[in-house]
Amino acid sequence: MSSNKNVPPLKEPVIRKAIKSLSDPLWLKNLPRLSKPPRRANTDLQPKKLSREMGYEVLSVVELTGVQQLTPEDIIVAVMGPTGTGKSTFIQRTTNYSWIVGHSLQSHTSVVKALRVSFSDGISLVLVDTPGFDDTNKSDLEILKIIAKWFEQVYRRKLEISGILYLHRITDNRMGGTPRKNLELFKKVCGEDYFPLMVLVTTMWSERSDEDEAVFFERESQLQKDYWGDIIKDPAQVQRFRGTQSSAWNILEEVFTLAAARQRHKILEIQQELVDLSKQVPDTSAGQQLHGMMEELVGKQSDLVRRLQDELIKSSDPVILRAIMGELRDLQQQREKVQKDLRRMGPSLAERRRRLNGLLFERSGPLRRLTQSRLHALKQKLGGFVQRIVRTPVQSRSVS
Ligand SMILES: Nc1nc2c(ncn2[C@@H]2O[C@H](COP(=O)(O)OP(=O)(O)O)[C@@H](O)[C@H]2O)c(=O)[nH]1
Ligand SMILES: [Mg+2]
């Protein structure tokens, strides 16, 4: 489906810089021939006309049906982050494409979706909308598998992800469980080697009032210090999305610049693990991180269940009893869901290593005992030999 009608005018310097900044030879080959933009008032120009006169033309904005539609000419940029941080909105503002944006707390993107913005001269940008963890419809394991599969297919097709935007709401007044989980898993999916290609974007700045401004700035620097410090190598990796189209393009421009500066291949850790090391999703670093988090969660839930059960015994008030029973039921259901995923994932790598070591120790028992008895016999034999030598006077020792 294409939506040429709504294609916005794209600022000439932004695109020129973006294209120039991509060092990929394929891109250099496709560099557009720029004509100088005419000096005239923009007011009477229609968006399409304006971009054509500037020497660039957005030919189409098309939703892709899958990884098989990607081509080596695509600049692929993924947008990640928790549900409700504005991922779909960011992509929508960039392209004016009517993209599904959630207006409730429910997740609207439980699949990976990609949108290709094609410019004249064969250049195209693919923006990838990904689901966040703590999705309302899918478990974290399912979400990880969906994301992992998409990235895996991209790598199998020998294509690269030029950059990743990670979105965080500046209006969140604390780093709660969901943002923290998303960030930790995101880091594992990408891997340290990919950190320089990540851009951390705070969203919802348009929500601010004047008195919020100082609070938001303070929050942003705290995020950089306490949570993003290991990712940030370049100040350009931290950006603010102001909710406008130009703000979105300014951020993308930084992504292109960072991508162009990268000499090595742009490979995510999860791509390497799944393809080069033939691992299954639960055995990847992200899978193991998730496993640990789920075990921790089940532990906390079990603690809470015990405490609620104690309260249940102590209380006689029927209202309180009903409330506790309701809580208990919800909690047990949640715990069952996590336990189901844990069973699906199987034991953690550390646990499997422990079990393997135990098995090896057990199996090697007879061999160990045989070796020990042989060593003992040898020591005795050698001991007698050495004793005889020591007792024999030096001049009467023979070499034979
Ligand atoms: N005020 C404000 N609301 C936003 C902004 N970005 C997104 N939203 C709203 O936040 C909600 C979630 O956005 P959405 O793009 O669906 O988030 P996603 O789950 O990360 O894709 C929607 O109601 C958006 O309209 C922003 O910059 N400012
Ligand atoms: Mg979305």
Output the CA 33–ligand 2 centroid distance in Å: 36
pLDDT recorded at residue 25? 40
Mean local confidence (pLDDT), 130-145 = 91
Confidence of residue 397 (pLDDT cuts 50, 70, 90): low
Query: Considering only CA atoms, which of 36, 20, 38 is closest in space to residue 28?
Result: 20
8 Å CB contact between 87 and 167: yes
Which amino acid, residue 286? A
Confidence of residue 51 (pLDDT cuts 50, 70, 90): very low
Output the CA 86–ligand 1 centroid distance in Å: 4
179-210: per-residue pLDDT in tens? Answer: 999 999 999 999 999 999 999 999 998 766 76
Locate the ligand 1 atom nearest the alpha carbon of residue 104 and give its number: 23
Q: Which residue has the higher pLDDT, 33 or 88?
A: 88
Instruction: Report which protein residue has its CA nearest ligand 1's atom 2.
Output: 204
Locate the ligand 1 atom nearest the alpha carbon of residue 242 and give its number: 27
Q: Which residue has the higher pLDDT, 363 or 32?
A: 363
215 pLDDT higher than 80:
yes
pLDDT recorded at residue 159? 94
pLDDT recorded at residue 384? 78
48 pLDDT higher than 70:
no
400 pLDDT higher than 70:
no
Coil, helix or strand for 35?
Answer: coil
pLDDT > 90 fraction of the chain, expressed in percent and rounded = 38
Average pLDDT, the chain: 81
What is the length of the chain? Answer: 400
Locate the ligand 1 atom nearest the alpha carbon of residue 206 and give its number: 28
- For ligand 2, a single-atom ion, which residues have Cβ within 5 Å? 87-88, 108-109
Locate the ligand 1 atom nearest the alpha carbon of residue 82 and give its number: 20
pLDDT recorded at residue 99? 63
Mean local confidence (pLDDT), 346-375 = 80
pLDDT recorded at residue 231? 95
Q: What is the DSSP letter of 316?
A: -
Confidence of residue 104 (pLDDT cuts 50, 70, 90): low
Among 89, 110, 205, which is best to mutate for testing ligand 1, by the most ligand atoms less than 8 A from CB? Answer: 89
Q: Which residue has the higher pLDDT, 101 or 203?
A: 203
Instruction: Report which protein residue has its CA nearest ligand 1's atom 8.
Output: 86
Output the CA 211–ligand 1 centroid distance in Å: 22
Place of tokens 């050698």: 382
27 pLDDT higher than 50:
no
pLDDT recorded at residue 344? 85
pLDDT recorded at residue 18? 53
* Residues whose CB falls within 8 Å of the CB of residue 45, separated by 6 or more in sequence, listed in order: 9, 53
- Alpha helices, H only, 231-364: 245-261, 269-271, 285-314, 318-345, 349-363
52 pLDDT higher than 50:
no
107 pLDDT higher than 60:
no
396 pLDDT higher than 80:
no
Q: Which residue has the higher pLDDT, 227 or 54?
A: 227
pTM as predicted? 0.75
Locate the ligand 1 atom nearest the alpha carbon of residue 205 and give its number: 27
Output the CA 63–ligand 2 centroid distance in Å: 14
pLDDT recorded at residue 102? 61
Output the CA 312–ligand 2 centroid distance in Å: 41
Distance of alpha carbon 155 from alpha carbon 149, whole angstroms: 10
pLDDT recorded at residue 117? 86
Ranges 119-128, 149-158, 297-306, 334-343: which has the least confidence: 119-128
Query: Considering only CA atoms, which of 96, 77, 80, 91 is closest in space to residue 7?
Result: 96
Coil, helix or strand for 30?
Answer: coil
pLDDT recorded at residue 4? 44
Distance of alpha carbon 26 from alpha carbon 260, whole angstroms: 13
Among 83, 85, 101, which is best to mutate for testing ligand 1, by the most ligand atoms less than 8 A from CB? Answer: 101
288-332: per-residue pLDDT in tens? Answer: 999 999 899 989 988 888 888 888 888 888 888 888 888 889 888
55 pLDDT higher than 50:
no
8 Å CB contact between 238 and 167: no
229-248: per-residue pLDDT in tens? Answer: 999 999 999 999 999 888 88
Mean local confidence (pLDDT), 111-138 = 86
Confidence of residue 80 (pLDDT cuts 50, 70, 90): very high
Distance of alpha carbon 314 from alpha carbon 311, whole angstroms: 5
pLDDT recorded at residue 1? 43
pLDDT recorded at residue 97? 73
Highest mean pLDDT among 16-25, 196-205, 255-264, 366-375: 196-205
Output the CA 159–ligand 1 centroid distance in Å: 30
pLDDT recorded at residue 103? 60
Output the CA 101–ligand 2 centroid distance in Å: 6
Dump the DSSP string for 47-75: HHHHHHHTT--EEEEEEESSGGG--TTEE
Instruction: Report which protein residue has its CA nearest ligand 1's atom 6.
Output: 86
Q: What are the structure tokens assigned to 353, written together?
A: 């290593």
Confidence of residue 24 (pLDDT cuts 50, 70, 90): very low
pLDDT recorded at residue 362? 80
Instruction: Please give all residues whose beta carbon lies within 6 A of any atom in ligand 1, as ranges.
Output: 83-89, 101-103, 108-109, 203-204, 206-207, 243
Locate the ligand 1 atom nearest the alpha carbon of residue 167 and give its number: 20
Query: Considering only CA atoms, which of 263, 258, 266, 267 is closest in space to residue 17?
Result: 258
